[in-house]
A and B are shown apart, each in its own frame.
Chain A
Amino acid sequence: QVQLVQSGAEVKKPGASVKVSCKASGYTFTGYFMHWVRQAPGQGLEWMGWINPDSGGTNYAQKFQGRVTMTRDTSISTAYMELRRLRSDDTAVYYCARAPGYHSMDVWGQGTTVTVSS
């Protein structure tokens, strides 16, 4: 079955970086965009960007440009999201979600909790 499995929870100090992975299975990894969406505690969904696993092309939300990098390793069907210069307000659950091109996100990962605290 189609599945996205994310890496485990992280605790980071302010100023550090975090890299979250998202392993895809059950479908052709390069056939779907991979989005990253985060949700701060008690807040709504916030889109961070997408990567096209086929070309490696990316598009980041303006808010995160310069601080986020999305990459992929097609040999292991895994996408990555790295966020740098972490602040306390980056504390959130980070989700990966696939989408067939410029369409809806039809499969989501289980989420990765990132806590930023001194």
Chain B
Amino acid sequence: SYELTQPPSVSVSPGQTASITCSGEKLGDKYASWYQQKPGQSPLLVIYQDDQRPSGIPERFSGSNSGNTATLTIGGTQAMDEADYYCQAWHSSTVVFGGGTKLTVL
């Protein structure tokens, strides 16, 4: 089965750039999506098709995907960005999520 691997945690200082990686075999050949989830809330799509932002998502959120790694980058990280982030891809008509990364802004 296909797997996506994320670091369990990432820490960043306010105003700095946070990068969260997602690794999977030939992930660059697929589209990667990213979801933000804050405690007690439903997931929110923040990046789709590798690098596209849905309406309403701040410009500081960006994405890339090449080779075996997709990356979510948050520029000028704010306290409100502290959350769990999940990558997702399609594989053989099924959906795969990464294990999630807890982003701490401190």
Contact = CB atoms under 8 A, between A and B. Distances in A.
Interface of A: 35, 37, 44-47, 50, 59, 61-62, 95, 97, 102-106, 108-111
B48 A61 contact: no
Interface in B7-36: 31, 33, 35
- B-side binding surface: helix, strand, loop or mixed? strand
Nearest 5 interchain pairs by C-beta: A104-B48, A104-B33, A44-B100, A108-B42, A47-B95
Contact of B45 (A59, A61, A105): A105
28 contacts: A44-B97, A44-B98, A44-B100, A45-B35, A45-B43, A45-B86, A45-B88, A45-B97, A47-B94, A47-B96, A59-B93, A62-B1, A95-B43, A97-B43, A102-B90, A103-B33, A104-B31, A104-B48, A104-B49, A104-B88, A105-B43, A105-B45, A105-B88, A106-B48, A106-B54, A108-B42, A109-B42, A110-B42
Interface string B35-58: 101000011110011000010000
Interface residues of B, number: 24
Contacts of B75: none
A108 B100 contact: no
Contacts, number: 55
A108 B42 CA distance: 7
B43 to A, nearest CB: 6
Nearest to A100: B48
Contacts of A97: 43
A44 B99 contact: yes
Contacts of B97: 37, 44-47
Contacts of B96: 47
A111 B37 CA distance: 13
